[in-house]
């Protein structure tokens, strides 16, 4: 028997329940993984709440974990039982002691990286990879704006930007989070509770503003993000932490300087085994060399059966960096 977290209706954290189940054998193109550490991501709260509705109930939750392959399907040639692995694009159900995952969505994990480091960084690290390397390629010396710089994605972005020789301006919600982002490599921070974001971006850039803004906050920062952009700048909206951006009048992009907007996701950038290898190899090399550090506070590691408490904590904005479920 194994244990997983599932929900039978959309709602608050309390809809998450631990249930026992008997794992099925992996399909021919799948591997079965015994999870050792499970990543908690803000997108999981969108799935649970119904912002991203689940068509079938009851539904598992979570797409990211690290662990050990215990069974491999008959068509799988690049992975075998005993391999240390990590994944971030599984079908929902990673909040589980055992999970079957498409083998092409699984990366072999170097020995230099722990299961906890991997589960805390893989989805977030792949996200930073596609944002900074593919959606818009950040150049050395470039100044850009990144919202929620002390979050799980943000702290990796701060470190990655520093490694690229770029200057990241990060928005944060407290002096403590500002200090955390600065330590990670942010060039400057803006406390959005106390400062006008667009005005500060203009001040920090000598009136030039920035060519690209990365915004995972959504509704609350939409206008400020557009107002921070140079003429023909790119607004990269990749999350909805404050609610989705809706009812956009395209004329505003003209008024604010012939701006571009894109709404990317990892699934548009990492679509096959080769793309996964390219992204994970770059991420793993940065983590293994210590350029990107992944530290999860003990207070942000939760037993699997306390998934509801983990979601409450995440949504309260009381966390910084990554959080984990430990089976």
Rounded distance between C-alpha atoms, residue 165 and residue 61, angstroms? 37
CATH 3.90.180.10 domain span(s) along the chain: 2-121+270-326
Q: What is the pLDDT of residues 189-207, one digit of tens each?
A: 999 999 999 999 999 999 9
**CA atoms of 25 and 208, how far apart (whole Å):** 57
318 pLDDT exceeds 80? no
Query: For residue range 64-106, what is the model confidence (pLDDT) as tens digits?
Result: 999 999 999 999 999 999 999 999 999 999 999 999 999 999 9
Mean pLDDT of the region 131-143:
98
- Considering only residues 223 and 243, tell me which one the structure prediction assigns the higher pLDDT: 223
pLDDT of residue 33: 98
Q: Exposed, middle or buried by CB within 10 Å (0-12, 13-18, 19+), for 244?
A: middle
CATH superfamily for domain 2-121+270-326:
Medium-chain alcohol dehydrogenases, catalytic domain (3.90.180.10)
Q: Averaged over 210-237, what is the pLDDT?
A: 95
The arithmetic mean of pLDDT across residues 126-134, rounded, is: 97
Within the chain, how many helices (H) and strands (E) appear? Answer: 9, 16
Question: What pLDDT is stored for residue 68 in this prediction?
Answer: 98
Residue 219 has pLDDT above 90, yes or no: no
Predicted local confidence at residue 243, as pLDDT: 78
How sure is the predictor about 268, in pLDDT bands with cuts at 50, 70 and 90? very high
Q: What pLDDT digit, counting tens, does each position of 4-62 carry? A: 999 999 999 999 999 999 999 999 999 999 999 999 988 899 899 998 888 889 999 99
What pLDDT is attached to residue 213? Answer: 98
Q: Tell me the mean pLDDT in the region 146-160.
A: 94
Residues 240-246, mean pLDDT to the nearest whole number: 78
**Confidence tier at 244 by pLDDT (50, 70, 90):** confident
Of 79-93, 127-141, 232-246, 260-274, the range with the lowest mean pLDDT is 232-246
The pLDDT of residue 274: 94
How many Å apart are CA 93 and CA 90, to the nearest integer?
A: 8
State the CATH architecture for 140-264: 3-Layer(aba) Sandwich (3.40)
- Whether the predicted pLDDT of 319 surpasses 80: no
- For every residue of 153-205, DSSP letters joined together read HHHHHHHHHHHTT-EEEEEESSHHHHHHHHHHT-SEEEETTTS-HHHHHHHHT
Span(s) in the chain for CATH 3.40.50.720: 140-264
Banded model confidence at residue 237, pLDDT cuts 50, 70, 90: very high
Summary mean pLDDT of the chain:
95
Say how many residues make up the chain.
Answer: 327
């Amino acid at each position: 028997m194994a244990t997983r977290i599932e929900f039978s209706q959309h709602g608050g954290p309390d809809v998450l329940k631990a249930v026992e189940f008997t794992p099925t054998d992996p399909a021919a193109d799948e591997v079965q993984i015994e999870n050792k550490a499970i990543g908690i991501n803000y997108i999981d709260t969108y799935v649970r709440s119904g912002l991203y509705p689940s068509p079938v109930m009851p539904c598992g939750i979570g797409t990211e974990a690290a662990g050990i392959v215990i069974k491999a399907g008959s068509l799988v040639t690049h992975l075998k039982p005993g391999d240390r692995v990590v994944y971030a694009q599984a079908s929902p159900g990673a909040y589980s002691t055992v999970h079957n995952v498409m083998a092409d969505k699984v990366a072999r994990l170097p020995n230099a990286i722990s299961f906890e480091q991997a589960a805390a960084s893989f989805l977030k690290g792949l996200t930073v990879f596609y944002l900074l390397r593919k959606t818009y390629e950040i150049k050395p010396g470039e100044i850009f704006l990144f919202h929620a710089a002390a979050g799980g994605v943000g702290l990796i972005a701060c470190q990655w930007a520093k490694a690229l020789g770029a200057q990241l301006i990060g928005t944060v919600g407290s002096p403590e989070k500002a200090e955390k982002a600065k330590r990670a490599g942010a060039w400057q921070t803006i406390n959005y509770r106390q400062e006008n974001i667009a005005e500060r971006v203009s001040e920090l850039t000598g009136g030039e503003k920035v060519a690209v803004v990365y915004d995972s906050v959504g509704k609350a920062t939409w206008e400020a993000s557009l107002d921070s952009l140079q003429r023909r700048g790119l607004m990269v909206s990749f999350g909805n932490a404050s609610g989705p951006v809706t009812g956009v009048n395209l004329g505003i992009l003209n008024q604010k300087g012939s701006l571009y907007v894109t709404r990317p996701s990892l699934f548009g950038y990492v679509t096959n085994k080769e793309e996964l290898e390219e992204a994970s190899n770059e991420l793993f090399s940065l983590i293994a060399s210590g350029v990107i550090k992944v530290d999860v506070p003990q207070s942000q590691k939760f037993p699997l059966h306390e998934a509801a408490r983990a979601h409450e904590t995440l949504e309260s904005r009381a966390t910084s960096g990554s959080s984990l479920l430990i089976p």
